[in-house]
Structure 1
Amino acid sequence: MENMVHPGGLLALRLALRAVADATLSFLVPAVITAILSASSSLKV
């Protein structure tokens, strides 16, 4: 039962998940802002 999950592997997994989350946010945030701006500008016209 001692070799369930290696601490190093768990740390690498957390770092990988954080990197994926950061990449997703850095891509989604500008896309969402652009979508909101285009939607608001089209509503004003």
Structure 2
Amino acid sequence: MPVTVRVPASSANLGPGFDSLGLALDVHDVVTGEALPGGPDVGP
């Protein structure tokens, strides 16, 4: 079963506000992933 994660974007470090000011944007990232039945192949 696929899983989708949606994360909102932001912009930080605006001018003299440094880390105390940010800007919320109407933009987002979407990542979809699905686990495989056999799991990952991590052997040599």
TM-score by length of 1: 0.23
Q: Higher helix fraction: Structure 1 or Structure 2?
A: 1
TM-score by length of 2: 0.23
Q: Higher strand fraction: Structure 1 or Structure 2?
A: 2
Greater RCO structure (CA 8 Å; 6+ sep): 2
